[in-house]
Chains A and B, each alone.
Chain A
Amino acid sequence: MSDAFLNYSELEATAESAAVARLDEPTEGAGPRARGRRWPLRLAGLILPVTALLFFELAVRVGWIPERLLPPPSQVFETMREMLGGPLWLHIGFSAGRVALGFLVGTTLGIAVASFTGLSRWAEALIEPTLQALRGIPPLAWAPLLLIWLGIDESPKIALIAIGAFFPVYLNLQSGIRNVDRKLIEVGEIHGLGRGQLIHRIFLPAALPSLFTGLRQGLSLSWMFVVAAELIAATKGLGFLLSDGRETSRMDIMLVAIFLLGIFGKLSDTGLRALERRLLAWRDVYESRESLAGGAL
C-alpha cells in the first residue's frame, strides 16, 4: 500500500503508546507514590468527627453539658451494641425495606412517565402541566390523606416514599431525554433507525447520566420520607425508634437511630454511585479525568 498507510501506522503507534500510558495508570491515581499520598487525604476526613466525639465525651463527663441533654458518645455506642443483639436489626430491616420498595415503585413510575412525555409532544402537552402542578405540593402534605385512604399499615408509607422518589427521577430523565444532542439523533436517522430503535439505541443511553442524577436525588428523598412516615405512624423502623426514644426519654436510642440513618443513607448512595461509575464510564467528564490528573498534581 501507499506510504500514507505507513505514516498511519506511525501515527497510530505514537497515539497508541500515549493512550496505553494513560490506560496503565490505575483509576485511583498514578503509581504507588500518588497512592501513598492519597491515603492521608482520605483519613483527613476522619479528623473532624473523631475530634467532635472525643470533645462531647469529655464535655459530658466533666459536666459542661448535662447528661439529660446529651448522653456521652460511649454510652450511645454501648446502647447500639446492646440493641444489635436484640430488635435493632428488625427496625433497620423495616426502614430499609420500605425505602427499597417505595423507591422502586417511585422510580419505575418516574421512568415510565418520563419516557412517555420525553418522547412524545402529545403526551407532554397532556400530562406535563398536571405533573408540574402536583410537583408544587410538598409530598409530606399528602401524609394525612394517605393515612385515611390507605390505612395505617405499610401502604401509606410506601406511597409517601414513592411520591418523594418519583419527582426527581421523572424531572431529570424527562429533561435528559429532551436534551439529547440532535447531532447524535441524526446519526441514528442516517443509519435508518426507526422510532423504537432510535429510543433504544440513542435516547436511552444518552439520557442515562440524567437518570442517575434523578435516582440519587430520589434515593436521598426516600430516606427522608421513610423517617417522616415512621415518625407519624409506625411501630417498627428507625423513625419509630426516634419517636419512641423521645417518649421514653431515651436520648441514646434516638442518637443510635440518627447515626444508623446516616450510615444507611450514605451506604445506599455509595452503592448507587458505584453503579453509576460502572455504567457511565464512557462519559468524558471532569470526574473521570480528575483521578488521572490527581497523580500529576
Chain B
Amino acid sequence: MSALLHAVVEEKSFGDSRVLADAEISIAQGRIVSLVGLSGCGKSTLLRIIAGLERNFRGTLTLDGRQVRGRHPEIGFIFQEPRLLPWLTVAENVGFGAGAAGARDSRTTELLAAVGLRSFADALPKTLSGGMAQRVAIARGLFSRPRLLLLDEPFSAVDAFTRMKLQDLLLDLTRERGTTLLTVTHDLDEAIFLGDEVFVMSSRPGSIRKRIPVHLSRPRDRGSTGFAEIRRQIYRELFAGTETTDDYAI
C-alpha cells in the first residue's frame, strides 16, 4: 500500500530552539491517524507544516508520490477554534472555498444538512453555540472534498458530551467519503476512538517515537478493556523515561 502522505521534517526551529528533528510521518489512503504528544512537543507545528502554513523548515512533503510545496488544494484543515468569519453567514462560511457563490452551492446545502444545521444557513456566527460553530467548521473543512483532512485539536474547546457527538459526526462524514484524517489531540480517548493508528511523539526536539495500531472494531466502546489497554500503552510511551511510568504500572 503506497502512502497518500509522506512527510519528512529534518529540522524545524523557532529561533534557537529546535522544535522538530527527523520527524517522519506516513499515512495510507483512507486511514485515520491520531498524533499525540506532551504539550510543546511540536505536534501542532508538524501539522501546520503539512498544511502549508509553516514554510520555513528543512524537509520534504509528498502527496501521492508528488512533492508538495506550500498550500495544496487536496489538503483540508480544521482548527482548534471554529475560526468562522464573523461577517459571513453560516452558509457563506461553509462555502467559503467557492467564493461568492459558495453559499448557494449544492455541497453547502448537503453539508449543512449533514451537520444538522440546515435551518441556520442564514444565521450569523455570533448566534451559534461553541458546538454548533465547530460543526460549521467541520462542514467548511469538508467542503472542498479534501483527500487529506488535518485537524488540530479540533474538539478541545467544547464540553465532553458535545465532543463525543462531534467525534461520531466526524467519523460518519469522513468514512462515507473515504477521507484520510490526521488528528492532533491531547485527549487520549479521542486519539484511540478516532484512530486506526496512534502516533506518539517525543519532545524537544519532536519526532515520532512510536506507532501504536488500534485494532478495535467500530463503533468503538470507550469503556472496553481493549480500549483501556491501548490507553495504558500510549500513556507508558508518553511518559517513557520519567518516574510516572512506575506509579502507573499497576
Contact = CB atoms under 8 A, between A and B. Distances in A.
A78 interface: no
Interface string A177-215: 000000110110111100000000010011010000000
Nearest to A205: B87
Contacts of B123: 19
Contact of A192 (B73, B116, B169): B73
Interface string A145-184: 0000000000000000000000000000000000000011
Contacts of A189: 52-53, 71
A192 B71 contact: yes
Nearest to A208: B87
Nearest to B89: A282
A2 interface: yes
A183 B126 contact: no
A284 interface: yes
Given A4-B165, A15-B132, A187-B83, A282 B71 contact: no
Interface string A1-12: 110110111011
Interface string B11-53: 0000000000000000000000000000000000000000111
B124 A282 contact: yes
Given A4-B169, A192-B73, A16 B120 contact: yes
A281 B88 CA distance: 11
Contacts of B155: none
Contact of B126 (A191, A202, A206, A283): A283
A35 interface: no
Contacts of B83: 183-184, 186-187
B96 A4 contact: no
Interface in B129-173: 129, 131-132, 144, 165, 168-169, 172
A22 interface: yes
B108 to A, nearest CB: 14
Interface in B84-131: 85-88, 96-97, 115-117, 119-120, 123-127, 129, 131
A202 B144 CA distance: 19
B127 A22 contact: yes
Query: Which of B52, B85, B172 has the most A CB atoms < 10 Å from its CB?
Result: B85
Interface string A253-297: 000000000000000000000000000011110001000000000
B132 A8 contact: no
B53 A186 contact: yes
A176 to B, nearest CB: 13
A283 B86 contact: yes
B193 interface: no
Contact of A16 (B77, B97, B115, B119): B119
B81 A183 contact: yes
Nearest to B164: A4
Contacts of A7: 165
Nearest to A2: B172
Nearest to B114: A5
B168 A284 contact: no
Nearest to A279: B87
Given A184-B85, A190-B53, A12 B126 contact: no
A1 B171 CA distance: 13
Contact of A282 (B53, B73, B86, B96): B86
B87 A11 contact: no
Contacts of B124: 281-282
Contact of B165 (A11, A15, A187): A11
Contacts of A15: 129, 132
A206 B83 CA distance: 13
A9 B116 contact: yes
B116 A5 contact: yes
A23 B52 CA distance: 40
Interface in B48-87: 51-53, 71, 73, 76-77, 79, 81, 83, 85-87
Given A186-B53, A284-B86, 11 more contacts: A4-B169, A8-B165, A11-B165, A12-B120, A19-B120, A19-B123, A187-B79, A189-B53, A189-B71, A190-B71, A192-B73
5 contacts: A12-B120, A187-B85, A190-B71, A190-B76, A283-B126
Closest 7 CB pairs of A and B: A284-B126, A8-B116, A4-B168, A282-B87, A205-B87, A12-B116, A190-B77
